[in-house]
Amino acid sequence: MGVDEVLRHGDQVLVAVVEVAGALIIFAGAVWAATRFVVEGVRHRTAAVFTPIRLSLGRFLTLGLEFQLAADILRTAVSPTFDQIGQLAAIATIRTALNYFLGREIRQEQRQVSAGEGDR
């Protein structure tokens, strides 16, 4: 087994670990949000209760997407081809856009929640 093969295998292992970490973060956030949704839905019948749940889920999604992007970058770190670079550019653009819009929505929701608390 040559050095190149060892590097590629090590890179594949790292990519898999980072992808799994991202998937677990997203899964944990989804489970947490679903649980909170059910608990709060039973206790309270108002839509305002769900905004903090959405904010937390958005944070989990953003973090998970960052891990997924990191895995994509790692995947192309060893001897990338032009096809891989193009795929990375497309994936990075999509995930960056998702993160941007999620972050913007989270900030907007936080401002609304803060404004609502000031009214009390």
Task: Name the nearest CA neighbour of 24 among 55, 54, 68, 58.
Answer: 68
Residue 35 scores a pLDDT above 90: yes
Give residue limits of the domains in the chain: 3-118
For 49-91, the pLDDT digits (tens) are 888 888 899 889 989 989 998 988 888 876 678 888 888 888 8
Taken as a whole, the chain contains a residue count of 120
Output the pLDDT for position 74.
85
CA torsion angle 90 93 96 98 (round to 10): -80
